[in-house]
Each structure stands twice: as C-alpha cells, then as structure tokens.
A and B are shown apart, each in its own frame.
Chain A
Amino acid sequence: MSTAALYNDQGAAEAAVEAGQETTPTSSSSGAAFGLFSTDFKKNEDLKEMLESNKESLKLEAMKRIVQLISKGKNASELFPAIVKNVASKNIELKKLVYVYLVRYAEEQQDLALLSISTFQRALKDPNQFIRASALRVLSSIRVPIIVPIMMLAIKEAAADLSPYVRKTSAHAIQKLHSLDPDQKEQLIEVIEKLLKDKSTLVAGSVVMAFEEVCPDRIDLIHKNYRKLCNLLVDVEEWGQVVIINMLTRYARTQFLNPNINESLLEEGSGGEKMFYGSDEDEDEDEKEKKAEAAAIAKRKPYVMDPDHRLLLRNTKPLLQSRNAAVVMAVAQLYFHLAPKAEVGVIAKALVRLLRSHSEVQFVVLQNVATMTIKRRGMFEPYLKSFYIRSTDPTQIKVLKLEVLTNLANETNISTILREFQTYIKSMDKDFVAATIQAIGRCATNIGEVRDTCLNGLVQLLSNRDELVVAESVVVIKKLLQMQPEKHSDIIKHMAKLTDNIQVPMARASILWLIGEYCEHVPRIAPDVLRKMAKSFTNEEDIVKLQIINLAAKLYLTNSKQTKLLTQYVLNLAKYDQNYDIRDRARFVRQLIVPTEKSGALSKYAKKLFLALKPAPVLESPFKDRDHFQLGSLSHLLNAKAGGYQELPEWPEAAPDPSVRNVEVPEWTKCSSREKRKEKKVEKPFYSDSEGESGPTESADSESDSASTTDSASASVSEESESGLESESEEESETEEEEEDKKEKKNQKKEPKKPVQESESEQSSEEEDRKPEKRSKKLKSDSESDSVEDEGSESESSPSESEDFESEAVVTKKKKAAESKPPSKSVRKEEKKEKKEMSLLDLDDFEPTPSPQVTPVNTLLSNSLATDLEGLSLSDSILSPATIIPSGALKNYELLHRITGEGLSVEYCFSRQPFSPDANMVAVQLQFTNNSTSDTKNLHMEDVRLQSGMRVKEFPEIELLPAGEMTSAVMGIDFCDSTQAANFQLCSHTKKFFVSIQPPVGELMRPVFLTENEFKKEQGQLMGMNEITEKLTLDVKCRNEHAIVQRVTTAANLSRVPCGSDKECRFAGRTVTSSSLVLVTVATREEGAAQLMVNCEKMVIGTMLVKDILLALTQ
C-alpha cells in the first residue's frame, strides 16, 4: 500500500481513501478531483484499463483495489470478464486475488465463470501438491451447478491423491459440493467412506466435518474407524479435534452402555447431596423410580465398561490441557455425557481455567457450567470462589456467575454465599442487583434454614431508594410468602406499613395483592390499608388502582361488615376513572360481588373466584433441563434447536455388538504385488457368474461352510503372521497403505454387517461343530490384535472371561458376541468374494454398492484424468471394455446388474441414431434380460429426477418379459449438453430399482457434414478460449489414419471431414441440444507424436472431449 494511502486513510469518507490510493498508480490520468466526482462506472472503466494492460504491477494494483471494493461490499461484478482472463497468471499474488474475486462472483456470472474451469482442471494435475490442492479449493468454491460433474470427478480423484494435504482439501470440497447439489449425496458418501479410512492426521478432522455435514446419521461408517480416530485424536489439528470429539460423543451414546447405571444405585443407599433441597423432592421421586428401574437392569447384567468406551475417555483426557477453549469444552461435554460419575470431576478444573479467558469465552463456558451444576453440583463446589463476581465483569457475565453460585449453594456454603450476595446488592449495576435479589429468593426457597434470614434481608431492601431493587424485592418476597403465608403474617403486616413510604407502583401493587390474598392473616390491618388506599385512590398509578379494586373485592367477600362502604366508595371512584381498564374492572367486580336480582349464577361463586388457592410460584433455574441438548452446542446455548443439530441419543438398553469396531488384518499383506491384485479382479466376474447359476444365497452359505472347515487351520496360521505384519505396516509410509486401502475398502466395508446379521443364527450353529478349534484360535488372535492396538484393550478378554462365572444367560450371550468375531475373521479370507456378492443381495437398497451403474462415465473420465494413477482407479473392471473396443461396436453400459436387479439385468448403449420423437434428445437403447426363473411384468419408468433443463422421453412400457428372454427398448434423454446423470426408477410389477444414466461427453453430439473450407472457416471463429490443444504420443497400434479415425469416432459421435493432407484427420459434430459446433483435429508428426485440437463454443464440453479422445488415442 502506498504511503500516501496511509495518511489519507484515516478519514471516514471512502472517497478519500480511494483518491489517496489513486495517486500512486495513475495520478497523472485522473488527478485529485477523481475521487470526489467519480462514479462507479468511471472507476471501473479505469480498473478495466489497468487489467487489460501488459504490466503485471498494474494488474496487481487493479486487483488490490477491486479487493478493497469487495471488502466494502460494493459491487464489482461487471469486471468479471476482464478479471477472469488473469486466472492463469504467473504472479502468485495476482492469481490469489483473482481467486478471491472468482469465488465471490462466480455464482452471479455462471457462464463467464466456466471460462476459468479449464485452468483449474489443468492445475489439478500439477505435480506440486499445493497447486493441486489450491486448484481443487477454488474449483469447488465456485458455486456453479453446471460444473457439478467436474467437481465430483475432481473430488474423487483428489480423495485418492498421494498427498494428505490434497486429500484434506477434497474432504472440504465434499461439503461444498453437497451444499451445491444435495443429489450427489450418495456418491459423496462413498468418498467420505474412503477418506474416513485415511490414516493421516491432516485428513481426519476435515473428513469428519464432511461426515457431520453430509451424512451424520450413517454411524455405521464410523465403526471400523472408531479406534483409529481415538488414537489419532491427540495429533489432529485443534479444530479437527473439536469436530471429532463431538461426533464421537454421539457415536458413543449409541454404542455403549450408560456407565452410571450402577452408581446411581450406590448413591441412593448413601443418600447423596441432592436430597437436601425441598424443591427437589418431587424430582427425587421420579429419580427413585428411574433408579429402581436402573437397578433392575443392573441386577440383570453387571456393568462392565466397553474397552472402546474406556479408550475414548482415556485418549480425550489430555486434551483438557489444550490451549484452545473449544477443544477443552468439547472434551468437557464428552466427559459430562459419557464418563462415569466418579471421573467427570476432572473437567471442572479445566473449565474454571477457561474463565480467565476473553469474556465471550467466559459467557459460553458459564452457560455450560450452569447446566452442569444442576446435575452435578459436587463437581464445581471446590471452585466456588472462582465464580465470585468482580465489579469489572460485564453484566451478562455477572448474571451467569450468580446463576452458578445459586446452583452451588447448599447448607454448608450458604452463609458465605449470602455474605457475597450482600456485597453484590450494593453494586452500582442495578440489573445485577435485581438478579442478585432473585438469586437470594431462590436460595431461600431451596434451603429451608436460611429462608427467614433471606426474607429479613429482603424486607430490609424494601427501604432501598432504587425502584428496581424495591420492586424486585417485593416480587421475590411475594413469591416466598406464598409458600408459607401463615408463618409470616408479621412480614405481611410490615409490608402493609410500607405502603405509607414506598412509592414504586409495582411494589405497591404487589403489597396490595399480598394483603388481599392473605387478608385472613391480617384481619385487622387489611381494612385499614383499604381505607388509606381509598383515600389516595385518585392519585395512584393504574396498576395500583387495579390492585386496590382487587383488595376491595376480596375484603368485601371476607369481611363485608367493615368494608362494604369502602368498597362501594372505591368502585364508584373507579367507575369514573379515566382509564377504561379500570372502569371495566370496576363494573365487572361490582356485578360479581354485589348481589342484585340481575346478577346471575356467577355471583354465588364469587368467593371461589377471588379467593381460590393459588399455587406458589416455583423458583427454579432457567438452566434446568437444558442438558438434553448436547453441552457446548449452539442449541444448548440458545436453548432452542438450531438448524442441523444432531440429537444426542439416549443410552441404549443393551449394547450393540462391539465386534463391529474390530479392524481386520488388511488383506493386502497376502498379495504382495500389484499383479496379484489384478488377477483377483479378473476373477470377480467368474464368481458372480457361478453364483448367477445357482441360487445366490444358497451358494454363498454352502461355500462358506465348506471353505471355512477346510481352510480354518491354514487361516489361523496366516492370521498369526498377518497380525505381526500389521504392526510393522503401520509404521510404513502411509501412501502405500492408502493405495492398498482403496482396494480393500469395498471388501472390508461389508464385513461389519455380516457378524451382526448372522452371528445369532447360522454362525453360532456352525460354530458348534468347530468349537474347540475356534476357541483356541480366538484366544490367539485376540491377544495378538490387542497388543497392536493399545494396552487398554487388553482388558477386553479378561472381563468376558470373568463373567463366565456369574450367570448363565450372560455367559452365553457374551460368548456369542465374542465368538462371532473370530469365525468371521477366519472365514473371511476364503469367503471374501462370496461375501461381496452376498452383501449385494442382502443390502441392495440399504446402501449404494459400488456397482458400475452409478458412474460409468465418471470412471471413464477419471481414468483419463488419472493416467498417472492408472490401475489404481476404483473400477478397472468396468473400464476394460472401454479400452478394448471391437471395431464399430457400440459401448454397452450396465444400468442394472443381474444381482442387484434380482435376476433382471439391463444394459444400455448410445445407439447414435437420431431420436425421432425429439431431435434434441440422445437416443439410448436399453436391453433388458430376464435371468430369473419367473416372468417380469410391466417394466416401466417412474420418478425421473433430472437437473434443470433436462428432459426424458420414456420408453414404452414392456408388458411382459418371460424368464430367460431378452428385449430392448429405446428412450430419449435431453442432457442439455451436460454430463449430468439422469436418475430414475425402473419399476417392474414387484420391484423398483434406482438407476441412473450418465452420458460420456462424446455421446452428447451428432455428426455433421462439413467441407474442408467450411471446417477451416468455422475453426477460425472458434479460437482463443474456445480452442484446446494437447500434445500426445499415439499408441503403437494407432499410428495409421484408419486407426485414428476409428478410435476418435468410437470415443465421440462425430463425422469425418475430408482433408487434403494425410497428416491431419478432421472431425465435426454439433452438440445435440444447443447445436454448438464441435471440431476436432488430429495432426500426426513423426514417431507417433501428434497434436489434438478441439474447437468448441462450450468450454466444458471441449475440455472433457479432449480428455476422452486423448485417452482413446493413447491406449
């Protein structure tokens, strides 16, 4: 910034600021008057000029000024075209400022924003991880719906990046994409699932954040990663810690048992502190019932803390020492919600420490402490003095501290607290004094011993000069008296005397109400008070007048002899009062109490109406019951549910199967080389085939049986070696593991479900036969895996064994739970593939299996983007047909797999025929095959969900598809020139299947015929941003003209343009919807070098097409 700016800037007028900065770069051009008279238009013209210039420094200066405009909230959107050109600048600062601008305005200028996309896409492949990350960051921050598919691709790719930093960025991008297009949820969950497996501390916080935002209810994704998250927690960056801890709190509430079941029993016996308070009595009744229930449960099953529960508590405890208040609070709430009562105390010290921090932090912490003190008073009692109030505290902090002090008050400390309160009452801050009086009132109701002292103290306050203090005291005294009016007739008398002095209307009104309400306790004074009041009636405030009428009516009913005339007098005065409320009240009261012929049945009940027993107001903390919100949350603070708040679940009655958290030995140790894994993949279709023939469920069962019996011995051996290996592997470089993880992911994912589903029935019966073997093996494998994890889980085996002696039911249950683990482990390896298929069957609608129909195009593209990561991509098996295409054949894509479709399989291809009903639609040919043994009827489409602008022409309903038969149908889809998927339901007479069709970009065009000259002319018009050029090396098999033409036309629906030179091949087409020209040129050089050039108005289409063709030509 210029020094001139420094001096000029102090003035508040923004014009002056701009003028000041103006002087440096372009002082000669505009002069000093510029700042004063410039309009937005003129200013921007100026900036535009600077941006167009060749000088980097001028551009930078312009961008800086634009950022200043943005920071002031001024509109700078019209500069978009001039700025977006600089997105590929070499100057880092300039580039960053352009990014800032782009992210701010892309939403408003969607079309123009697309111009920048290709730059980011290029940067996504940069060898420098930071450039990749920042490209993804900006790309995903551009909120333009049309690039959703590009973002999706980029995220998927980045999630598999070798650099943890890029993976972290991809986790952030997930949230952005989700908020941009919630329909992508399912695909995003897959990415989240993958990233959750990540072992890098850098990624953990971000991915859990994404999890919380996208799919907080998918608790099943956490199981396998639970222990890892707990162990990584200390090393995660502080912000991530907060998010992880909050998520784990919720997780633990669903998975573990309430650790306080037994302790509540003990407490009942010893008579906890809670019993001291009168007002708590009803509550205690409830609690006792609860305790009884809890006791019943406890008797059935003695509580043993799950080792995983212990792990969480142990690993979060050190974080109480964090310098970050949010982390400390997160741990505190975790302990409050999850820890056994005896251990919760540790958080008090840390929370008290936070009270030294900024007042905003104090505010939040005190709110939470206030809630905690209601449930767990003892915890904060040693720190009572830390809540003493200083005169310099802001009022809101003072009030909260008072709240905490009041909650902490009990018989032993009440005298010190009251002495403190006494000094507070003298404070200058009157709001605070009023709150103190309220607090005294609450102490008085809670602690019987001091009630009289408090009452006397409050009565003294009635002579305070401050209206607020007096009014507050009267109100509190009124409440206190209502509890035991008969004892305190002297105070009522005293207050009656006060009516002579007190002028505060509210206080006078309260006193009159009290006298009226309890006139039988002061039978002689009450009429006298009424007499005085009647005398001064006309000079009273309205609320006082109303209470005078009230008092008169009550006295008339109880003591009509003495007060009849007075009442008449008061009512007559009121009848002519200026205030209509008072006139109304007088009329109403008169009708009720003075019996006339006209007065109806109501007057008989006048006494009941006026002198009904009114319930004493309950003085209780506003923080009562707030703990049903998760502490530390926004919802708790506001005492209202905030958007996106996840309820803290109640403890489960019985613990869910703990074995779901067991992490198996990674399978990859078995196959050391990549080839082996590839072999395995080739095998997959074989398995699925064999299953298709026999009934799938049966085959799975029988196979697993036989496999496990024969292989169990060898399995146990291999397991031993593997668990050893695992510990080593953890120290190995992460990157390698993560590559492997991707492979294992799918297989592992399914296993947690298996034990849950089967452990009860088949597994246990299987086990009967093989028990001796299994048990020995189980012990072995258990102890080994434990040693890897941590010492805490060692206890895992001991409690389960010790319980064996306790009760039969428990024993058998536990055994089952414990044993379901080892068998599933041993069988696992042999069964792996079968299991995969099984789960496909069992869970088809429960979760999206990574079956091909979801992303045929994506994988294709991602592969092209990730040529360097080739072979690591998730679904090579689907790619294989794409890469080896028989000449002239159309690519078939799977829409519905035979197994997912329960016998019905559907394939589709883009037939490249014009779709006759609508020329703007792409024809899609569907081929239905019924592999099942029964007929399928009424095949049709339903519930089509599309991006805006897209349209679908449904295929005619297929009425009958007999078993074993095949049929085909044609549908049309207008993709609107985007590669967004068309999602719909395929319905048969019995079932519905969610399917989606996503086109490769090459299918979004139709061939057009152009002459060479026309081609050149058109090409000349599509230069600059519309032209994308890539150099490539042709595949060995593809060096002749024929091969090139064949490959290009297979990849994209284009027609050849005649060409004079034999070094060039040209193709032309138009996009189906908008008829934008697409021109492709492949120029060959020596030794297989070639250049690919695509000219297309639609930048996005062009970029994607380049990638597709590139892939087709290089492989």
Chain B
Amino acid sequence: MIHSLFLINASGDIFLEKHWKSVVSRSVCDYFFEAQERATEPENVPPVIPTPHHYLISVLRHRIYFVAVIQSEVPPLFVIEFLHRVVDTFQDYFGVCTEAAIKDNVVVVYELLEEMLDNGFPLATESNILKELIKPPTILRTMVNTITGSTNVGEQLPTGQLSVVPWRRTGVKYTNNEAYFDVVEEIDAIIDKSGSTITAEIQGVIDACVKLTGMPDLTLSFMNPRLLDDVSFHPCVRFKRWEAERILSFIPPDGNFRLLSYHVSSQNLVAIPVYVKHNITFREGSSQGRFDLTLGPKQTMGKAVEAVLVSSQLPRGVLNANLNPSQGTYTFDPVTKLLTWDVGKINPQKLPNLKGTMNLQAGASKPDENPTINIQFKIQQMAISGLKVNRLDMYGEKYKPFKGIKYMTKAGKFQVRT
C-alpha cells in the first residue's frame, strides 16, 4: 500500500522521509513540485498525482504537505484518511504539528510511523494504543530522559490491541473521576445579497474528555434524539443500541476523543443568529468605493454573540481601505486584499458598524465582482438546534464520577454574498 512518506514544507524542502518498503528516491517528489508550480494556490495541488512509476497522494495540513508514495491500486481515501490520522497523532503528541515540532521529535515521529504502518498497511492508529507504545514527550520527561537516559518507549507492550475494546488501555487510574462532554454545533450558511438564506444547515459534534478509572460503561441519552439526522460514531459506540433505542452506549477511550458527529435534519428551519446589513459599492468613473457594514443579533435566545470576526476578500483593484469601526479593530492587507475586522462581542443596544471608503487603483475600471463576507462567531451555552442531553449514566464501576456537559454554537462556513 503506502510505500514511502515525504514531508515537504512551505518552501519546498523535503525535511523528512520514511520508507516502509524498498527505498523510493526522493526525486519522485519532483512531480509533486511540478504540480505545485502549476497550481496557483497551495490548496489547489491535486491530492492525487500520477507519475510514471508511482502515484503521489498528498494532504496539506499546517502548511506541511504529507506526500505518500504508492505503487499500485489502493482506494485514495484510504491513504488520505490515514495521512490525516498521522497528522492528528502528531498534533496529539506534540501539541502542534509544525516543521519545528517534527524536526525536534524526529525520533518519536519515526517510532510512531513505524508502529502505525506495517509494510504500508495501517497497524495501530488508535491514539490510546500508540500512547502505550510510545509515551508522548513532555518537557518534564525530556529533562528526566536527558539526565537518566531512560526512554520514551513503553516497557510494557500494549494490551489494547488484543482486547475487545482496542481503543481503551487497561489499568486506567484517576483520583478524580470526571467525564466532560462538549456539544458543539456549527452553522454552515450562505446568505444572499438581500439577506435571505440560500442554504443553512447545522453540523454538530460531541467531543468528550473522559478521565475515569477502570472500565466504565457509559450511556448517554438525549431529550430529542430525533433531531439527529445523520450521525457518525467513534468505534466505541454500540450501533445496535442506537438503532433500537436512540441511546449512546459505549466504553469510552481514555482521554479526549470525538464521540459523535451529527447533522441536524434539514426539515428543521435553521435559526440564523446574526444578520448583516451591508452596502459595498464602486462607482463607475471614480476611483473610490463605499463600504458600510453593520452586524446585529437575531434569534439568539438572549445569549450573547461573542468572538465575532468578519473577513472579506476585496477585489483586486482595491488599493487601500480607509474605514472606521464603531468597535474592535480592523486590518487590511494590501497584498492579499484581505480585510479582517475583529468585532468581539455584539452589543444589541449599540450595533457594531464599519464604515468608510476604499481607494481603487487610479484609472482602473469598476470591479465586476462584489466581495463575499465571511463571519465567525460563538454563542456559549446554547445548541442552536435545540439538542439537549437528557442523562449520563455509568455502569461497571463503583465510584461516582463528576459529569459535565457544555453547549456551544459556532459559525462554520458562514458566508454573506454582497
């Protein structure tokens, strides 16, 4: 399957290579560089590039290209999904997945890659198993290791791979037993010029942080499970039970994991929590354009809209913008023509507003296109779909855990066309 892996940074250097079968010369990456040159934007490099003898499948994360070399037919998603899993693992281990972090921990990276693939076929990708095999480096452990010469490699061979619950390690012990669940919903929407909603949908996830001793068996039930239209589960969730009773029953992995992601059925109308009034115009003949943008809350059930950030890609002809925000700060990058306005919290009494003029290149004609406005925001303590967790029960262990559930709504891909 996967023959080799090359990591390439933004400036086009191959800074790590790993081979699982015979060594593939790094000159194979030249085909990748060619494709990269042809693509104008970094994200436009095709994920699959055929070369005379190999196929290159790449993903771009954190400005690093992870390029896998394969030689024969294999489902491309298989490789892509695996590469993303590799990135997630690095992130999990090193906190960030940057070139510096990878270079600093190259030995751990190598040990990880060695465990994750055997002959190019995924072997252990579950983070709980990997962490038993190879302990993540912490500052403390690095210090201790330097002094005592001990290692990051676990002395114990993991039992997880053999058990019925491969995602959970055995012998977990905590003094404080706690289980936290975050219900996070994102609104994806496209709002058209006149303010009407073209498409809007809610995607949600339940992220969990479970620190429980032993082998707890949890059940989580919802007040309104019918809201969930399409769900995908962590492998720990018992599918049969969900089908029959709409109850999530599972033995959780240890630590952080994504329990569930869901899509709220499209029959329910999506409440759009903010509205935008905008007036962006360019006049024919003059080298000036007007910019006027006002944000306001709408259907938020009394909750504050926070961490609002507006960004917009202005037309290429715009030289600079001279704007005046009623609150927050704005920046305009004259090279990329990206306007960002960090609004902060929306105060319903005094709506945030950004107003001013844009200067166009002298002599340039009026741009055809109107910029789209991307909006990010957060609303705490509310799930916009109305999803509510009913109860969380634990079986199989004696102690009483501390349970917590948090709701949050965020903007996903929230765009306003002008």
Contact = CB atoms under 8 A, between A and B. Distances in A.
Interface of A: 1-3, 5-6, 9-10, 12, 17, 24, 56-57, 60, 64, 67-68, 70-73, 91-94, 96-97, 99-100, 104, 107, 128-131, 137, 140-141, 143, 163-165, 169, 172-173, 175-176, 179, 202, 206, 209, 234, 237-239, 242, 246, 318, 321-326, 328-330, 349-350, 352-353, 356, 358-361, 363-365, 385-386, 388, 390-392, 394-396, 420, 423, 426-428, 464-466, 632-635, 637-638, 640, 642-646
B172 to A, nearest CB: 20
Given A96-B114, A246-B75, 11 more contacts: A92-B155, A96-B111, A104-B19, A137-B118, A176-B21, A328-B232, A426-B369, A633-B75, A634-B48, A635-B73, A638-B50
Contacts of B121: 172, 175, 206, 209, 239
B165 to A, nearest CB: 11
Enumerate the 4 nearest inter-chain pairs by beta-carbon distance, A residue then B residue, closest first.
A644-B72, A57-B149, A93-B151, A93-B153
B111 to A, nearest CB: 6
B105 A1 contact: yes
Contact of B235 (A172, A323, A386, A396): A323
Interface-central residue, B58, B76, B151, B417, by most chain A CB under 10 Å = B76
B391 interface: no
Contacts of A242: 75, 78
Contact of A634 (B43, B76, B111, B123): B76
A363 B157 contact: no
A366 to B, nearest CB: 11
B75 A175 contact: no
A18 to B, nearest CB: 12
A395 B40 CA distance: 9
14 contacts: A71-B109, A72-B15, A173-B119, A239-B122, A323-B233, A326-B81, A358-B84, A385-B199, A390-B415, A423-B417, A634-B75, A640-B50, A643-B73, A644-B72
Contacts of B76: 364, 632-634, 637
A72 B74 contact: no
Interface string B131-157: 000000100001100100101111101
A64 B58 CA distance: 27
Contacts of B14: 73
Interface of B: 1, 13-19, 21-23, 26, 40-41, 43-44, 46-48, 50, 55, 58-61, 70-78, 80-82, 84, 100, 103-107, 109-111, 114, 118-119, 121-123, 125, 137, 142-143, 146, 149, 151-155, 157, 161-162, 166, 188, 190, 192, 198-199, 201, 203, 229-235, 239, 243, 258, 261, 263, 313, 315-316, 365, 368-370, 372, 374, 413, 415, 417
Contacts of B143: 3
Given A9-B103, A464-B368, A360 B155 contact: no
B96 to A, nearest CB: 13
A428 B123 CA distance: 45
A70 to B, nearest CB: 8
A239 B125 contact: yes
Contacts of B151: 60, 91-94
Contacts of B370: 426
A11 to B, nearest CB: 10
B47 A9 contact: no
A94 B111 CA distance: 11
Contacts of A92: 151, 153-155
A320 to B, nearest CB: 8
Contact of A428 (B22, B125, B239, B313): B313
B37 to A, nearest CB: 15
Contact of A2 (B73, B146, B235, B415): B146
A-side binding surface: helix, strand, loop or mixed? helix
Task: Choose among A96, A99, A131 the residue with the greatest number of B CB atoms under 10 Å from its CB.
Answer: A96
B114 A71 contact: no
Contacts of A642: 50, 55, 72-73
A322 B162 CA distance: 21
A56 B203 CA distance: 53
A637 B368 contact: no
B124 to A, nearest CB: 9
Given A96-B153, A638-B50, A640-B50, A179 B146 contact: no
Most buried by B among A92, A128, A364, A644: A364
Contacts of B166: 237
A901 B61 CA distance: 62
Contacts of A176: 21, 119
A428 B118 CA distance: 46
A29 to B, nearest CB: 18
A323 B413 contact: no
A349 B229 contact: yes
A202 B162 contact: yes
B195 to A, nearest CB: 15
A388 B80 contact: no
A898 to B, nearest CB: 41
A64 B146 CA distance: 13
Contacts of A395: 40-41, 44
A349 B58 CA distance: 26
A922 B153 CA distance: 49
Contact of B232 (A137, A321, A423, A464): A321
Contacts of A68: 106-107
A328 to B, nearest CB: 8
A465 to B, nearest CB: 7
B114 to A, nearest CB: 6
Contacts of A365: 77
Contact of A141 (B17, B74, B119): B119
A466 B367 CA distance: 10
A5 B104 contact: yes
Contacts of A70: 110
Nearest to B312: A391
Contact of A1 (B21, B58, B142, B192): B142
B143 to A, nearest CB: 8
A128 B188 CA distance: 52
A350 B413 CA distance: 19
A252 to B, nearest CB: 17
A358 B229 CA distance: 21
Of B41, B75, B188, chain A has the most CB atoms within 10 Å of the CB of B75
A67 B107 CA distance: 7
A426 B316 CA distance: 13
Given A73-B14, A321-B239, A428-B315, A326 B78 contact: yes
Contact of B80 (A131, A179, A364, A644): A364
B119 A172 contact: yes
Contacts of B111: 93, 96-97, 100
Given A350-B230, A388-B190, A93 B413 contact: no
Contact of A323 (B78, B104, B155, B234): B234
A10 B23 contact: no
A361 B73 contact: no
B75 A329 contact: yes
Nearest to B13: A12
B413 A64 contact: no
A779 B239 CA distance: 34
Contact of B77 (A206, A353, A364): A364
Nearest to A209: B121
A328 B232 CA distance: 10
Contact of B106 (A67, A141, A163, A427): A67
A356 B262 CA distance: 11
A64 B63 CA distance: 26
Contacts of A100: 110-111, 114
A7 to B, nearest CB: 10
Nearest to B190: A388
A428 B23 CA distance: 43
A426 B417 CA distance: 11
A391 B372 contact: yes
Contacts of A94: 151
Contacts of B313: 391, 428
Nearest to B315: A428
